[in-house]
């Protein structure tokens, strides 16, 4: 839009019902703080500036919101005297003369871009105030939207509604767009003549009626307007967000055998024709290329999975895991800050950390890179087409050359040159008849004939 726009986000609540040591807008949905969801969505509709109305954890909330890249200012609401009072804390910013002013609630991260655009469109087509409402299955507790002749003439709070008004199912969604050139004029005329003695921003509709200004309503999906005051409601938000993200990915060509058991993050990127089995967790920073398979009960975070790679089941990719095309990380394996080359295999029960593995290598079961000396992490390098036998320990820093072979059970504490075989085992000794004597002794102890 060519119109300038300011978003005022109300996030000054104490979050007392959340029973949390931090502001509720710092709690995450899909791994991203709630406040960041809202600011990011505002950025999608070309918001010029965001003013945060803050209370608890103000500095941390401001810094978190600023990470989205949108210009942000913060205002502290010292006393809580209602939503209109909250918006007026940003008086200095509002007075700069933006075309549109959007008043948004800070605990509703699911708001869609389309709803915000509809609010602004209402202003662009001549309304002075536009309010987002929704059709409620159960309207109890919500302010009722009173519509006459296609205009919004009032918003009546539940406690102050008549019996007839309480039958209305079209309810206030908490989002209001205001003509920025008269926003302060309208808000300044709101009074606190109500049961709670607060300045309700919703009363701006009545002010419009008094001044002959135009106010209208738009209809938004109820799920877009969901907020949270408790941990239970936070979980409901998470469930709805996850549902939307899964649907988005499946519509793009991703297969999920049991979608409800797959958990995604705000920045998860999964390409077409990827298969995801049940009970998989994607933490922040994961990208999966096409035709890859993520098998059941795997946990990925900060990882890249190349085309056609296979992960799991029961695998863990930690930050810095970088898996090449057609590579494999098998069951009960862990990879951390390691590059696995194209076609290489990390088989079951192995740990590869702080490592570079070349192409076509085979890491046998139970192999571990010993990367930490108690103070520092060290690098292990494993060359192309090398073979690491099962139950080997590679003590970093160490380099295994191309096409080298490490025998099973070997402890490697020095470099293995290209094409060499490394073996370090205690020579096997067979004691004739000893097994029989051991069994007889143990049986006697069990029978009580001998003391241990």
Catalytic positions are 348
Q: How far is CA 316 from CA 192, 322, 328, 348, in A?
A: 56, 12, 12, 11
| Contact predicate 261/239, CB 8 Å | no
- Encoding tokens for residue 244? 């939307």
For 153, the 3-state DSSP assignment is strand
In whole angstroms, give the CA distance from residue 398 to residue 411: 11
- Burial class of residue 122 (count of CB atoms within 10 Å of its CB; 0-12, 13-18, 19+): buried
Q: Provide CB contacts within 8 A for 338, sequence distance 6+.
A: 320, 321, 322, 352, 353, 354, 355, 356, 357, 369
The DSSP call for residue 427 is P
Q: Residue 93: enclosing H or E segment and its boundaries? A: helix 91-94
| Contact predicate 60/37, CB 8 Å | no
In whole angstroms, give the CA distance from residue 109 to residue 107: 6
Per-residue H/E/C for 6-31: EEEEEECCCCHHHCCCCCHHHCEECC
Give the position of tokens 């108690």: 374
The DSSP call for residue 416 is B
Residue 152's nearest CA partner among 136, 132, 169 is 132
Q: How far is CA 136 from CA 157, 200, 223, in A?
A: 15, 21, 10
For 408, the 3-state DSSP assignment is coil
| Contact predicate 223/137, CB 8 Å | no
């Amino acid at each position: 839009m060519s119109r300038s726009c300011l978003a005022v986000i109300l996030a000054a609540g104490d979050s007392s019902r959340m029973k949390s040591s931090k502001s509720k807008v710092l709690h995450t949905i899909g791994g991203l703080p709630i406040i960041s969801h809202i600011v990011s969505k505002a950025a999608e509709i070309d918001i010029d500036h965001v003013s945060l109305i803050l209370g608890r954890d103000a500095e941390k909330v401001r810094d978190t919101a600023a990470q989205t890249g949108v210009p942000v200012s913060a205002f502290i609401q010292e006393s809580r005297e209602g939503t209109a009072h909250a918006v007026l804390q940003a008086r200095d910013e509002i007075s700069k003369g933006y075309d549109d002013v959007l008043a948004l609630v800070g605990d509703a991260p699911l708001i869609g871009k389309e709803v915000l655009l509809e609010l602004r469109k209402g202003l662009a087509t001549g309304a002075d105030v536009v309010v987002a409402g929704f059709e409620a299955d159960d309207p109890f507790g919500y302010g009722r939207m009173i519509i006459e002749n296609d205009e919004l003439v009032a918003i009546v709070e539940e406690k102050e509604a008549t019996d007839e008004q309480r039958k209305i199912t079209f309810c206030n969604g908490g989002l209001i767009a205001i003509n920025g050139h008269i926003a302060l004029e309208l808000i300044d005329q709101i009074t606190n003549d109500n049961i709670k003695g607060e300045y309700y921003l919703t009363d701006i509709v009545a002010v419009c009626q008094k001044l002959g200004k135009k106010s209208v309503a738009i209809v938004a999906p109820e799920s877009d307007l969901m907020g949270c005051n408790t941990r239970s409601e936070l979980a409901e938000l998470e469930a709805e967000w996850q549902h939307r993200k899964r649907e988005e990915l499946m519509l793009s060509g991703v297969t999920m055998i049991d979608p409800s058991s797959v958990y995604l993050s705000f920045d998860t990127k999964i390409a077409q024709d990827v298969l995801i089995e049940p009970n998989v967790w994607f933490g922040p920073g994961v990208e999966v290329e096409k035709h890859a398979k993520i098998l059941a009960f795997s946990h990925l975070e900060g990882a890249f999975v190349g085309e056609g790679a296979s992960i799991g089941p029961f695998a863990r990719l930690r930050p810095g895991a970088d898996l090449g095309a057609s590579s494999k990380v098998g069951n009960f394996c862990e990879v951390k800050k390691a590059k696995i080359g194209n076609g290489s295999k990390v088989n079951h029960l192995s740990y590869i950390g702080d490592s570079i593995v070349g192409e076509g290598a085979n890491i046998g079961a139970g192999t571990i890179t010993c990367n930490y000396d108690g103070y520092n992490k060290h690098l292990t390098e494993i060359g192309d087409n090398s073979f690491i036998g099962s139950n080997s320990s590679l003590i970093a820093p160490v380099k295994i050359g191309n096409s080298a072979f490490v025998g099973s059970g070997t402890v490697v504490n020095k470099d293995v040159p290209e094409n060499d075989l490394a073996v370090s085992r205690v020579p096997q000794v067979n004691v004739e008849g000893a097994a029989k004597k051991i069994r007889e002794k143990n049986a006697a102890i069990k029978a009580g004939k001998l003391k241990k």
